[in-house]
Amino acid sequence: MKVLDPYDIPLNQACLIEASAGTGKTYTIATLYIRLLCEGYIPDNILVVTFTEAAAAELKIRIRQRLHDCLTGRADPDLQAHMD
């Protein structure tokens, strides 16, 4: 089994994340989204597709929380190290 590290995924290409429940898909997608923003990508130019509306709603919540954490100095250490 291959472990997917959201900090090793190239940002200049499409990415399909497919895995079972509870494996960190939402975390990975949120991390990729934050990385794209940090690299200067415009939100209107970022496409994220999920399977259900509930999953999309959860992803929005997680991305907003992680953005808030970044802006208030409470980003997780891996993300903070990547941003520095």
Residue 9 burial by Cβ neighbours in a 10 Å radius (0-12, 13-18, 19+): middle
Residue 75: give the domain boundaries.
25-83
Residue 18 lies in a domain: no
Residue 53 lies in a domain: yes
**pTM for the model:** 0.84
Residue 62 lies in a domain: yes
pLDDT at 51: 86
Residue 64 lies in a domain: yes
Residue 31 lies in a domain: yes
Q: What is the pLDDT of residues 16-63, one digit of tens each?
A: 888 888 888 999 999 999 999 989 999 999 999 988 999 999 999 999
Crossing angle for the helix pair 25-38 and 53-71, to the nearest 10 degrees: 50
Residue 8 lies in a domain: no
- Number of domains present in the structure of the chain: 1
Q: How far apart are CA 3 and CA 5, in angstroms?
A: 6
